[in-house]
Amino acid sequence: MKGYERRDAAESKASGSRKDRDLKRRNDLRLIAGLVLLVTALFAARGLYFRGSGARVIVSQNGSTLREYPLNGFADDVITNPENGGQNRLHISGGRVWVTDASCPDKVCEHYGKISQDGEVIVCLPNRLIITVAE
Ligand SMILES: [Zn+2]
């Protein structure tokens, strides 16, 4: 009788420690998952912060800076070259800038598409317009 009791006690002790180990492993997994989420969130926040903080759109025409816009803002402006009357419609939204419409014959500026990275440019040679993204 005493022997059985002792064995029962030993088994319950063993199963108890196994349960503890499982619990610890589950907690570890939860901790890792939490860390992964945290790191992901930090990276996302950092990306938003940097995009929102310094990035600007610089518009220059005939070799001099005409206007500047924040890249994280919104703009829809027509820029007219006083020398030839050429026009480009500049659009900024969603952290990107592009030319939606242009009077130039080649439409190369429209075909640049949407730019958002530091150093990217859109050039319209006929209208002597340069749009640059700068941090
Ligand atoms: Zn053009």
- Mean pLDDT (the chain, rounded): 85
Is the same domain home to 108 and 80? yes
Rounded to the nearest angstrom, the distance between the alpha carbon of 71 and the centre of ligand 1 is: 21
Rounded to the nearest angstrom, the distance between the alpha carbon of 100 and the centre of ligand 1 is: 10
Between residues 122 and 24, which one has the greater pLDDT? Answer: 122
Rounded to the nearest angstrom, the distance between the alpha carbon of 89 and the centre of ligand 1 is: 10
Is the same domain home to 109 and 72? yes
Q: What is the dihedral of CA 41, 44, 47, 49, to 10 degrees?
A: -60
Q: Which residues contact 96 (CB under 8 A, 6 or more apart)?
A: 71, 114, 115, 116
CATH of the domain at 70: 2.60.320.10
pLDDT confidence band for 38 (50 / 70 / 90): confident
pLDDT higher than 80, residue 106: yes
Residue 76, strand partner residues? 91
Domain membership of residue 64 as a residue range: 56-134
Total structural domains in the chain?
Answer: 2
Is the same domain home to 61 and 92? yes
pLDDT higher than 50, residue 52: no
Q: Which residues contact 48 (CB under 8 A, 6 or more apart)?
A: none
Is the same domain home to 10 and 61? no
